[in-house]
Amino acid sequence: MPDYKAPLRDIKFVMSELLDSEQHYASLEGAEDATPDMVDAIIGEGAKFCEQVLSPLNQVGDQEGCTWSEDGVKTPTGFKEAYQQYVEGGWPSMAADVEYGGQGLPNSVNLVMSEMVGTANWAWGMYPGLSHGAINTLESHGTEEQKQTYLTKLISGEWTGTMCLTEAHCGSDLGTLRSKAEPNSDGSYSITGTKIFISAGDHDMAENIVHIVLARLPDAPKGTKGISLFIVPKYLPGEDGSAGEKNAVSCGSIEHKMGIHGNATCVMNFDGAKGWLIGPENKGLNCMFTFMNVARLGTAIQGLSHAELGFQGSLDYARERLAMRALSGPKNPEGSADPIIVHPDVRRMLLTQKSIAEGARALIYMAAQQSDILHQGKTEEERQAADDMMGFLTPIAKAFLTEMGHESANLGVQVFGGHGYISEWGMEQNVRDARIGMIYEGTTGIQALDLLGRKVLMTQGESLKGFTKLVHVFCKENADNEQMKEFIEPLQALNKEWGEITMTIGKNAMKNRDEVGAASFDYLMYSGYAVFAYLWARMAKVALDKMAEGTEEEAFYNAKVETARFYFKRLLPRSRGHVAMLEAGADSLMALPEDQFAF
């Protein structure tokens, strides 16, 4: 496994130079503490923790995995101690509400830490990561008593959280879930049912676990309109607020799975466990949607993390591994062969990884700023615009980035050749760990339907227009900039085409609803490439301007421009394939009768 090195220079480039974080934080309500020096210091400290504590545990977690016994789940060597250090460092409380013990920093600062934690050790990062879902739920929908009892402990990190949605027969389609909640005379509920695939469902890292559970009340309407949300602690809080008597919830077993071995994926049995309603009856799914965008952004980071780790490992290896001579003549005449980084095909792989990782960072940080505005924007109008923008960007970030992150991790194996396929170097672990990103928090297929159906077509294209307007303004501002021509011309064409293909799909869908599902995956991927094109063009602009002004970091900025060129010439053309496929319509997918598939 490569030693993780936090890419602090690129983090700073995206935050400060591309997205002007200083001005952004100054424009938020209650973000006075997020001064540039403070943010730099936090990120610097976080980087050390991730590099020195979490990264060395990444391979340990994979090899040891978690172990189940009647007494509970044991996490791999070092995980618990690392979590203690994380809590002592105050990391869980960084972006949480000050009233409940949080530090009140903007969410975007927290997401930079999540990127570094996730790249250093994704499986470990899921334990505190899942707590964020529980924290968001309680912050938005908990009663004051629930906040005092649970939120404070989750924010301090003494307790961790889970999200218990999935059941054996349903994951994407939660409308069919069966877990039951019977009211008790004391205002609590008895929760009964089995949840599967629950990340961090049980472990030995914290003294209590707070499960956020979806279940049905008696006589609840069928489908998604009859689902309520409950809080079910592993240990019931005692009079003094500490973890007391054991509740009737237990981990029946843990899954043996492809990757993220260090994270316990649990079957959770609720046998009349005591729980309390969060939010209104039968509005459980609505409550969850209020923070879903932020949670999904958390999963989008997984794409960035595996792309970055794959790239870091590949780059070191490609500089050292010797194989054959460059086609254009020896580049390392003293050595027995040239390092493989001289070969165009290896450069193709490295630049693909680099442009994915850096593009992903730009996309996530941009979306993270929108999430800051959503929570701390000064006007209702600003907050609404940020909500709309996040609604549009989130399915793209979640699905496109996890798909691309997996591709990048896979290229890591390829750059290492046979050594990539064996365990020692960690590249195969990176692929296995990355694979789940395309499945949980809404599969790529479900995100694609959400983007095209709910976000774009159901708003008559308004959410798309919100984004294409940004692109349009940027293209107009740079229309006369000769150096930017190579980026602006294709970007402008893409922006126009985006609206046109959306209209075509919309028209086709009026005749046949299957046209939406048939186009959705390619539409999502096309949108991802288009968003990346916008961000890469903007990054090229920042870098070109810096070089024109004169800089001591010429090499850094030149690398940005060259990577942007690579992106436009070698990755963006994939959008042509997606247009051709989505224009092919539903017929070629739906014509084959089901009983003829097997022939």
Beta strands in 321-477 (DSSP E): none
Alpha carbon distance 396, 401 (integer Å): 7
Among the listed residues 111, 165, 341, 456, the single contact to ligand FAD using CB under 6 A: 165
Among the listed residues 60, 163, 452, 540, the single contact to ligand FAD using CB under 6 A: 163
Q: How many CB atoms lie within 10 A of CB 23?
A: 9
Between residues 9 and 256, which has the closer beta carbon with respect to ligand FAD? Answer: 256
Q: x/- site string to ligand FAD, residues 484 to 523, per CB under 6 A?
A: ---------------------------------x------
Q: Least distance to ligand FAD from the beta carbon of 91, Å? A: 21
Sign of CA dihedral 399, 400, 401, 404: positive
527 contact partners, CB below 8 Å, separation of at least 6: 396, 400, 451, 498
Scanning residues 49 to 78, which ones bind ligand FAD (CB under 6 A)?
none
Alpha carbon distance 511, 129 (integer Å): 43
Between residues 85 and 512, which has the closer beta carbon with respect to ligand FAD? Answer: 512
Q: Which two three-digit tokens encode residue 171?
A: 């994951």
Minimal CB distance to ligand FAD: which residue? 171
Scanning residues 239 to 298, which ones bind ligand FAD (CB under 6 A)?
257, 265
Rg from Cα positions in the chain = 24
Scanning residues 192 to 221, which ones bind ligand FAD (CB under 6 A)?
197-199
Alpha carbon distance 305, 522 (integer Å): 24
Q: Are 139 and 151 in contact (CB under 8 A)?
A: yes
Q: Are 325 and 370 in contact (CB under 8 A)?
A: no
Say if residue 386 is exposed, middle or buried (CB neighbours under 10 Å; 0-12, 13-18, 19+): buried
Q: Which two three-digit tokens encode residue 557?
A: 């900025």
Alpha carbon distance 326, 533 (integer Å): 31
Q: Is 158 a catalytic residue?
A: no
Considering the rule CB under 6 A, would residue 582 count as an interface residue with ligand FAD?
Answer: no
Q: Least distance to ligand FAD from the beta carbon of 198, Å? A: 5
Among the listed residues 131, 136, 166, 371, the single contact to ligand FAD using CB under 6 A: 166
Q: Least distance to ligand FAD from the beta carbon of 511, Å? A: 19
Considering the rule CB under 6 A, would residue 451 count as an interface residue with ligand FAD?
Answer: no
Q: Are 150 and 210 in contact (CB under 8 A)?
A: yes
Q: Which of 115, 167, 308, 441 is catalytic?
A: 441
Considering the rule CB under 6 A, would residue 172 count as an interface residue with ligand FAD?
Answer: yes
Q: Are 164 and 201 in contact (CB under 8 A)?
A: yes
Q: Which two three-digit tokens encode residue 559?
A: 């690398």
Between residues 25 and 526, which has the closer beta carbon with respect to ligand FAD? Answer: 526
SS3 content of the chain, % helix, strand, coil (to 5): 65, 15, 25
* Nearest-5° Cα angle at 583, 580 to 589: 100
Q: Which residues pair with 164 in a beta bridge?
A: 213
Please count the CA atoms within 13 angstroms of the CA of 428 that sit on its side-chain side: 11
Q: Least distance to ligand FAD from the beta carbon of 590, Å? A: 13
Between residues 67 and 172, which has the closer beta carbon with respect to ligand FAD? Answer: 172
Scanning residues 406 to 445, which ones bind ligand FAD (CB under 6 A)?
436, 439-440, 443, 445
Q: Least distance to ligand FAD from the beta carbon of 555, Å? A: 41
Considering the rule CB under 6 A, would residue 93 count as an interface residue with ligand FAD?
Answer: no
Among the listed residues 50, 96, 213, 449, the single contact to ligand FAD using CB under 6 A: 449
Residue type, 476: K
Between residues 309 and 446, which has the closer beta carbon with respect to ligand FAD? Answer: 446
Q: Are 181 and 219 in contact (CB under 8 A)?
A: no
Between residues 257 and 321, which has the closer beta carbon with respect to ligand FAD? Answer: 257
Considering the rule CB under 6 A, would residue 171 count as an interface residue with ligand FAD?
Answer: yes
Between residues 103 and 444, which has the closer beta carbon with respect to ligand FAD? Answer: 444
Size of the site for ligand FAD (CB under 6 A): 21
Between residues 53 and 198, which has the closer beta carbon with respect to ligand FAD? Answer: 198
Interface with ligand FAD by CB under 6 A: which range of 17-25, 191-199, 411-419, 569-577? 191-199
Interface with ligand FAD by CB under 6 A: which range of 165-173, 218-226, 279-287, 525-533? 165-173
| Residue 518 vs residues 439, 509, 583, 586: alpha-carbon distances, Å | 19, 10, 9, 5
Residues designated catalytic: 441
Interface ranges with ligand FAD (CB under 6 A): 163-166, 170-173, 197-199, 257, 265, 436, 439-440, 443, 445-446, 449, 517
